[in-house]
Chain A
Amino acid sequence: MRMFAALWGYRGFIFESVKREFQSQYTNAMLGAVWTIIKPLSMIVVYTVIFSQIMKAKLPGVDSKFAYSIYLCAGVLTWGLFTETVSRLQNVFLEQANLLKKISFPRMSLPVIVVTNALVNFAIIFSLFTLFLVFSGYFPGVVYLGIIPVLVIQTLFTVGLGVTLGVLNVFFRDVGQFFTVALQFWFWLTPVVYPINILPAKVQSALQYNPMTILITSYQQILVSGQWPAWHSLWPVAVVAILLCLWGLRLFRQHAGEMVDEL
């Protein structure tokens, strides 16, 4: 609790840092914030062209011009939020070593800044995507609100994982390298660019143990099929996310002091 109180005391600093980071990302780039959009957009274009045009992939049951693009957006954007946050969290303590070593401030504010910053970037691109949905007539209606709980679970899961990796990475630099590699495999083990039902049934059920599969398919279900996510499958993910958060927090509290010595 003391930690959260300290964080609250530094909310001004956190807010200012998020603003600053956002500005510094774009102040020296001529296209500015446009880059936030160009990056995932190019990825979506590449996958749309390769999968829907060249490989003629079709979504079973859905047969429309934009269906695959929307399917891709739902997965790529949210997966992008996940990877951006985790990869930055795992390096945040190393990157801010100087600050941690020299100044006394609530250290938890660093991950908070990273997560907030990633969420802001996500909010920008996702609202553009939502606008596109509204104007193209594919807006799923009230079901859209189902994104909020899924996003909350995803954020908890990401923070838990990211902070755990971030702390471990200070002591064992292999963790960061390993996770970068693991993320490649994780991406293809999650139905982001392909529909899960093109896989053999055995693999499909195995993929259900991947929390990201459940999260990403929930988004896809909401945005492509216009259906509420399968809540019963989300519960275990929520539990895992919370446990991971507690574990990450515990690890952080245990080793925060040692971490400064190690940096």
Chain B
Amino acid sequence: MGSITVAGLGKAYKQYASRWARLAEWLIPFSKQRHTYKWVLQDISFAIQPGEAVGIVGINGAGKSTLLKMITGTTQPTSGSVQVHGRLAALLELGMGFHPDFTGRQNAIMSGQLLGMTAQEVEQLMPEIEAFAEIGDYIDQPVRVYSSGMQMRLAFSVATAKRPDILIVDEALSVGDSYFQHKSFERIRAFGELGTTLLIVSHDKNSIQSICNRAILLDAGRLSMEGPPDAVMDYYNALLAERGNSTVRRTVNDQGKVQTISGTGEATIEDIGIFNEQGDRLEVVNVGQTIKLIVDVLAKQDLPELVLGYVIKDRLGQAVYGTNTHHLNDKLEQIDAGTRLSYRFTFPANLGVGSYSVSVALHTADTHISQNYEWRDLAVVFNVVNVDKSNFVGVTWLPPQMECKR
């Protein structure tokens, strides 16, 4: 139970030149085809075994939602087939079919039935649903007085009241406040551990990587990569970065100031990454964790002088910290062509929760203005998460020693 087999799946929308063309095609027997197909998804094949957790990633419009809709059966495929074994529950649209004039309890029963349960089943599960939703006495109030978060809580609780064989989640991880988000995420994870097959669409790298054991990347309606989540996410990020940079490049060129990858090219960065002390490449970093920024540099020509600088920027592009080997009093001189250098910067990631990028530059003197060999924006992107520290806000971690006298 709980397997999904997708073979040669494709979805196309019929496009008619006009409404009259459709009418003509309907009414005139044996007439020629008057529509063209607009393919949004083509040649998708994969199999998901029972108990697997698979993440689907892709930029907006890549066809993720269409794929899920075909798996749940809302939309019919144009070509290929989908085979689903086991009871399937989808967290695609929470709160569908809620009627504002009826109480939470009545709506819970109704939407449970819409999901294929019987009224008795829902009633039996009702205490659990109430307990999980934690909306208290509101359960017997009409849904129109609910906040949207409360509606989501109830809808999620109903949709996941019974453990399905297959659970499909589309961005629904962001239900309600962060407390409930964690709670709902925990429930999904627990289902996975109990053997439910999970299919998750998310842009959130953390949730994909922490829960999935396989990922599928869709690009422009085709399956472009399938494999371990970290590999797929890296590739996905590269795709994203490519897109991001190309737009940045256009806007920046007008001002003629900074280029995403620029420089004269006498030296180049071969690899850059953030690693933990054991030497594993990281994308997610705990607050305060000791990390290493490793930059491999190749000198393509003889260089009189080489300085490497880097800046850590927050998601808005504000510099959080930056330095270079000139300031660190470690600039190199007289480097022969073909020399490979590996720089390591070890520091505690005393950063706030969020997404950060690292820009690096190879140049001479104390800035890259005089001679810039290579400059790279967004060379590494990483996320900082707070695993074991007390909650705090901001972009830096400045743990205080607290005293309170009275």
Q: Which residues of A contact B (CB under 8 A)?
A: 9-10, 12-13, 16-17, 20, 23-24, 27-28, 98-105, 171-172, 256-258, 260-261
CB distance from A20 to the nearest CB of B (A): 6
- Residue pairs across A and B with Cβ atoms less than 8 A apart, 7 shown, are A12-B113, A13-B110, A16-B110, A23-B102, A24-B101, A102-B96, A104-B72
> Which of A20, A98, A172, A256 is close to B110, meaning CB atoms less than 8 Å apart?
A20
| Residue B97 at the chain A interface, CB threshold 8 Å | yes
Pair A28/B101 contact, Cβ less than 8 Å: yes
CB distance from A13 to the nearest CB of B (A): 4
Nearest A residue to B122, CB-CB: A12
Contact A257/B76 with A20-B110, A103-B96 known, Cβ cut-off 8 Å: yes
Pair B102/A172 contact, Cβ less than 8 Å: no
Contact A261/B75 with A10-B113, A103-B97, A105-B114 known, Cβ cut-off 8 Å: yes
CB-CB under 8 A from B26, the residues of chain A are: 171
CB-CB under 8 A from B76, the residues of chain A are: 256-257, 260
CB distance from A16 to the nearest CB of B (A): 6
Provide the main secondary structure of the chain A interface. Answer: helix
CB distance from A171 to the nearest CB of B (A): 6
CB distance from A175 to the nearest CB of B (A): 10
Pair A260/B96 contact, Cβ less than 8 Å: no
CB-CB under 8 A from B90, the residues of chain A are: 104
B residues contacting the other copy or chain, number (CB 8 A): 28
Pair A13/B113 contact, Cβ less than 8 Å: yes
- Which residues 211-247 of B have a CB within 8 angstroms of A? none
Most buried by A among B19, B75, B102: B75
Pair B74/A12 contact, Cβ less than 8 Å: no
CB distance from A262 to the nearest CB of B (A): 9
Pair B14/A261 contact, Cβ less than 8 Å: yes
CB-CB under 8 A from A260, the residues of chain B are: 74-76
Pair A103/B99 contact, Cβ less than 8 Å: no
> Which of A16, A20, A104 is close to B74, meaning CB atoms less than 8 Å apart?
A104
Most buried by B among A20, A103, A172: A103
| Residue B109 at the chain A interface, CB threshold 8 Å | yes
Pair B102/A20 contact, Cβ less than 8 Å: yes
Interface string of B189-229 (1 = CB under 8 A from A): 00000000000000000000000000000000000000000
Nearest B residue to A256, CB-CB: B76
| Residue B116 at the chain A interface, CB threshold 8 Å | yes
Q: Tell me the bound Cα distance from A16 to B109 in angstroms.
A: 9
Pair B93/A102 contact, Cβ less than 8 Å: yes
> Which of A13, A20, A101, A104 is close to B99, meaning CB atoms less than 8 Å apart?
A20
